[in-house]
C-alpha cells in the first residue's frame, strides 16, 4: 500500500470518527485560540484530522460566512465576530435546548414562554432535516409542578430594569403581611418551580435582599442608574451567599426563597 492510499484511508477514518458539524465546531474553537496565523499542520493535529479534511473544513467555514485569512503553507487566522449557525448543534445539545425551552414554556411568565417557543421554532427552521427530526421527536418532557402564585408586577418590565441597571421603587409585603417601601438596585431574577424571586441591593437595609415577585405590591422604575454594574453586584451577592462559582454553568440559587427578604 503506498503513502497516498494510507492518507486516503486515514482521511476516511477521521471523517467517520466525528460528524462534520463537530469537526467544524472544533476547528472554529481552535482558530479562536490563535490571534496570529497558525499553520494547517498545527490545526489538523490539534483537532485530529488530516490536512486534506482540514482544508475542506476551512472552505466550509468560509462558505458559511467565516472570514478566515491565509492559505495553505502560510497559516490561517479567524477574524472575530463569526458565529456558527444552529446546524452545528449535537443531538445532546438539541435535547438540552428542547428540555430547557419546555421548562421555560411551562414555568416562566408569558413573554418568556412565548420567547422560548419562538426561539425553538427559529432553530427548527434552519436545522438540517435529520437534526430537525431529532428536535421534534425529543422524548425529554417536563413533569407537572406546583402552581405558581400570580406575580404582583410585570416581569417583562422588571427584566428591562435589570438589563438597564435602573433603580426601582418597590412597595412590598413580606410573609407576615407587613408592608414596606424601599429603593432597590435590581440585578437578578431567580426562577423556581413554585416561586420567582427578585435579587436586589436594598438602600434602606444597605444589604442584599430577596423579594418574591408575587409579594411585590407595585413597582416604579426610577429614571436613574444605580452606581455599580450589575455583574459586580451579582459577584458580591454570590460571595455574600457563600456560593462558589461553577466554571461550567449557573449557580444554585437561594436555598430558601424567602431568605433575607425583610
pLDDT for residue 6 is more than 80: no
pLDDT for residue 254 is more than 60: no
From the list 144, 189, 130, 192, the residue with the least C-alpha distance to 162 is: 189
CB environment 21-43: b (16+ within 10 A), e (fewer): bebbbbbbebbeebeeebbbeeb
- The domain 3-84 is placed in CATH, from the list 1.10.10.10, 3.30.160.270, 2.20.28.120, 3.40.50.1970, at 1.10.10.10
Distance of alpha carbon 261 from alpha carbon 180, whole angstroms: 11
- Per-residue model confidence as pLDDT tens digits over 7-26: 343 444 344 345 677 788 88
Lowest mean pLDDT among 48-57, 153-162, 235-244: 235-244
Between 127 and 44, residue with greater pLDDT: 44
Residue-level pLDDT at 85: 58
- Per-residue model confidence as pLDDT tens digits over 79-93: 887 765 555 577 788
- Per-residue model confidence as pLDDT tens digits over 108-164: 888 999 999 888 887 787 677 777 787 888 888 888 877 888 888 999 999 999 999
Q: How far is CA 86 from the centre of its chain?
A: 14
Residue-level pLDDT at 10: 42
Mean pLDDT of the chain: 81
The answer to whether 166 and 225 have CB atoms below 8 angstroms apart is: yes
Residue-level pLDDT at 87: 52
Residue-level pLDDT at 133: 82
From the list 114, 215, 109, 201, the residue with the least C-alpha distance to 154 is: 109
User: Is the CATH code 2.130.10 the one for domain 155-241?
Assistant: no
Q: How many helices (H) and strands (E) does the chain have?
A: 9, 7
Could you tell me the pTM of the whole model?
A: 0.61
Grouping H, G, I as helix, E, B as strand and the rest as coil, residue 200 is strand
Residue-level pLDDT at 248: 36
Amino acid at each position: 500500500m503506498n503513502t497516498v492510499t494510507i492518507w486516503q484511508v486515514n482521511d476516511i477514518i477521521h471523517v467517520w470518527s466525528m460528524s462534520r458539524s463537530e469537526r467544524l465546531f472544533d476547528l472554529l474553537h481552535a482558530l479562536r485560540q490563535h490571534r496570529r496565523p497558525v499553520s494547517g499542520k498545527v490545526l489538523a493535529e490539534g483537532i485530529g484530522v488530516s490536512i486534506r479534511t482540514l482544508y475542506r473544513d476551512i472552505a466550509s467555514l468560509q462558505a458559511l460566512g467565516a472570514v478566515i485569512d491565509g492559505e495553505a503553507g502560510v497559516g490561517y487566522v479567524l477574524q472575530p465576530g463569526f458565529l456558527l449557525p444552529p446546524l452545528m448543534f449535537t443531538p445532546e445539545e438539541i435535547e438540552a435546548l428542547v428540555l430547557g425551552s419546555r421548562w421555560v414554556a411551562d414555568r416562566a411568565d408569558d413573554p418568556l414562554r412565548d420567547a422560548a417557543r419562538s426561539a425553538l421554532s427559529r432553530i427548527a427552521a434552519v436545522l438540517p432535516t435529520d437534526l430537525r427530526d431529532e428536535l421534534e421527536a425529543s422524548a425529554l418532557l417536563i413533569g407537572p409542578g406546583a402552581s405558581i402564585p400570580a406575580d404582583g408586577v410585570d416581569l417583562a418590565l422588571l427584566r428591562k430594569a435589570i438589563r438597564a441597571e435602573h433603580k426601582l421603587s418597590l412597595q412590598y409585603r413580606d410573609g407576615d403581611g407587613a408592608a414596606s417601601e424601599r429603593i432597590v438596585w435590581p440585578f437578578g431574577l431567580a426562577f423556581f418551580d413554585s416561586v420567582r424571586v427578585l435579587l436586589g441591593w436594598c438602600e434602606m437595609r444597605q444589604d442584599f435582599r430577596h423579594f418574591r415577585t408575587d409579594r411585590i405590591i407595585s413597582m416604579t422604575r426610577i429614571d436613574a442608574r444605580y452606581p455599580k454594574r450589575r455583574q459586580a453586584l451579582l459577584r458580591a451577592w454570590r460571595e455574600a451567599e457563600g456560593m462558589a462559582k461553577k466554571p461550567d454553568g449557573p449557580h444554585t440559587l437561594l436555598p430558601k426563597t424567602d431568605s433575607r427578604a425583610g
